[in-house]
Structure formats: structure tokens, C-alpha cells
Structure 1
Amino acid sequence: MSVAEPRRIALFRHAKADWPQVSDHERPLAERGRMDAAVAGRRLTDSGLGFDLALCSTATRARETWKLAVHELDHRPKTVYEERVYEASPGQLIALLNEVPDDVGTLILIGHNPGVHGLAEILAGSADEDARDRMNRRGFPAAAFAVLSFEGSWKGLEPGVATLTDYWAPSE
């Protein structure tokens, strides 16, 4: 892929987790989370995004979210389970995304708040107004995702260079 072609990234927050007596990293999805993850996967398919790469947190709830969502996609991308996504700040996520090879055109990152929401806000220098309004109104609840596009290399991804093109969150 040429660096002149637009790149797209979906920032996907894990679905609703349960609170059993386990460490935070090992928390599984709640029943509602399992349902919302599959619905989010269908919505990602409907958006027409075909992912080249998935970067997924190693936390149980993120891995379970991705497993249920990817089952709904037309194409299963290469998936990398990345421990640096867990509890990452927006700056740490940008540093991770700067390492993505330039042959990746479309990527999905499955992670956690507040990092994922903060990253969407920081990257979006411009936005489809409807998508921005929905994200501002809803925040970034469990199983929500934002889609952004930008031009250039992953190494050049930095605050303000992307356009928020889509946003979706499950109904409450």
C-alpha cells in the first residue's frame, strides 16, 4: 500500500465486562457484553471496513470481545494480542500505532477506556458532524467504536491528523 492512500483505523472498546472475584486483567464479558460484541461485529461488517490487522489487548474481556466480533466479519484479519494496549494512555497507543508496517491499510484496535476514547478525540482534527455529535452525546460506552481516516504513514500518525468518519455504540 502506498503512503499516499488513505488509511483507516477503528478504535473499538471492549464490550461490557462482568465483575467476578478475579484480577482486572482476567475479567470476562458479561452476558450483555457477549451480545453487544456480536452486534458490533455485524455493524463493522455493514460499514464496509475490511481490516488488514487487529491489535487486541491481552485482557480477557478484550480478547472475548474480538473473538465474538471477528466471527461476524467477512474477512478475518491477522490478529496480534498486544499487552501494551491494556491500560494504555492515548500517547502510548499512538506510539504503538506508529510501529504498524506501512503495508497495513486498515486496522482495528480493541482496547479500553479511557485510552480508546481519548485517542479518538486526540486524533480527530476534523470529523463528520453526525459522527462527532453521536460520540459527544454517547461518550464511549462498552462495545462502542469510532472509525478514523488519515493520509500518510503510520509513523506520521499524531494528534489532529485524522478525520472521524463514523461512530457507533450499542443501544442502552
Structure 2
Amino acid sequence: MKTLTLLRHAKSGWDDPVARDFDRPLNGKGKRAAAMVGRHLRDLRLSFDHVVASPAVRVMETLDEIERGYGRALGIGWDRRLYLASAETLLDLIQALPDTAADVLLVGHNPGLEDLVLMLVPGGTGDLRSAVELKYPTASVARMTFAVDDWSGVTTGGGALALFVRPRDLDRTLGPDQD
């Protein structure tokens, strides 16, 4: 059994005058949401034996806040291929994960993460998938399980969605149209 948790970076600041999208930082709401999601992951007692993330500034800052809420360092491996990666590229990266890892946290960007969940989890499998179909907001977490021994066995339609949490599920002020 393999478990994959996907985390989309928290809300970034579009008002910050950076030269490159890669360098865009989080805004205040994003920092609050990421810390709250980190506390939620801790409260659920989730642990990860392998963490890989996009090195974009907004992802790095998201993980700083996640770790603050989670209460410990995650031992993150940075991989530039995750920056704005498509679902297909993400699946290639997942299939190449070390088989010694059983519970992986992958942190990146949309639309790739949302598309990946919809690719891996069969349609018509319940409310969680339906919620992902509607929207995969910033700082949201999706957790899937796969009945495989090796990551190379993760294929389209082979996952079961066990968890989908949006920041607004934890604190209504972190939902749309709020500062």
C-alpha cells in the first residue's frame, strides 16, 4: 500500500512586484491558511517518510508555515520539475519515487495537482472527488491510497481518495471573498 498526499501552495500575493512568477511570495491570508493546514495535519497524526516540493518561493513559504503549524521539520527535497508541472509530468515523478517511501507528500501548483487527483481517482467515487472537481483551492490537501507495492504501479484510475481538506473547511475566514 502506498499513500500520496498532495498539497497546493497557499495563496500568493499578486500585489508584490516580482520580476518572475517563480518568485511570487505568499500573502497574509496564505500564511494563515498554511499554518492552519499544518496544525490540521498534525492533529490527524499524518506523517510522511518522503517529501518533495517545487522550489518556487510561494511553495517554500507555504512549507515554512506548514512546518510551523505541524510542529516539526518535514525533511523536504526540492525538485524544479514540480514547478507548474502537468498531471502527466507529476505522474511520471510519482512513478519514479523510491519504493522505500510508503507515505509521500508532494507540494506544488495547479492546475497540475487538481488534474492529477482527477486522473488517479475514478469518477463517480463520492463527495470528495466531486469537491475536487469543483475546485482545488490554494493550501488544499488531497490524500490518496494505492493498492500497490511499488510507485511504478500507480496508474490512471488506481487511487482511492481518502481526504480532501480546504482551508475554509478549517476556518470559514480562509474561504473566498475574505481577507
What TM-score, normalized by structure 2, do the two folds share?
0.86
SS of structure 2 residue aligned to 1:166: strand
Question: Could you say which residue in structure 2 is the equivalent of 1:154?
Answer: 151
1:11 is matched with which residue?
6
> What amino acid is aligned across from residue 7 of structure 1 in structure 2?
K
Residue 26 of structure 2 corresponds to 29
Cα distance change of structure 1 residues 75 and 130 upon mapping to structure 2, 3 Å threshold? farther
Q: Are 2:10 and 2:30, in contact at CA under 8 Å, matched by a contact in 1?
A: yes
Counterpart CA distance in 2 for 1:113 and 1:14 is: 9
Matched with 2:172 is: none
- For this pair of structures, how many residues does the alignment match? 166
Aligned to 1:116, what secondary structure does the other structure show? helix
Does 2:120 correspond to 1:123? yes
Alignment of 1:1-172 (within 5 A): 6-19=1-14, 20-22=16-18, 23-73=20-70, 76-125=73-122, 129-137=126-134, 139-152=135-148, 153-171=150-168, 172=175
SS in 1 for 2:55: coil
Q: 1:106 to 1:128 in 2, by over 3 A?
A: farther
| Structure 2 residues not aligned, in runs of 5+ | 169-174
Structure 1 consecutive aligned stretches of length 4 or more whose deviation exceeds 3 Å: 74-77
Provide the C-alpha distance between the structure 2 equivalents of 1:27 and 1:71, rounded to a whole number of angstroms. Answer: 20
Percentage identity across paired residues of the two chains: 32
In the alignment, structure 1 segments of 5+ residues that lack a partner are 1-5
Q: Which is worse superposed, 148-157 or 118-127?
A: 118-127
Compared CA separation, residues 69 and 91, structure 1 to 2 (3 A): same
What is the aligned-residue RMSD (CA, Å)?
Answer: 1.6
SS in 2 for 1:44: helix
Tell me, what secondary structure is at the counterpart of 1:125?
coil
Structure 1 residue 39, shift from structure 2 partner:
0.7
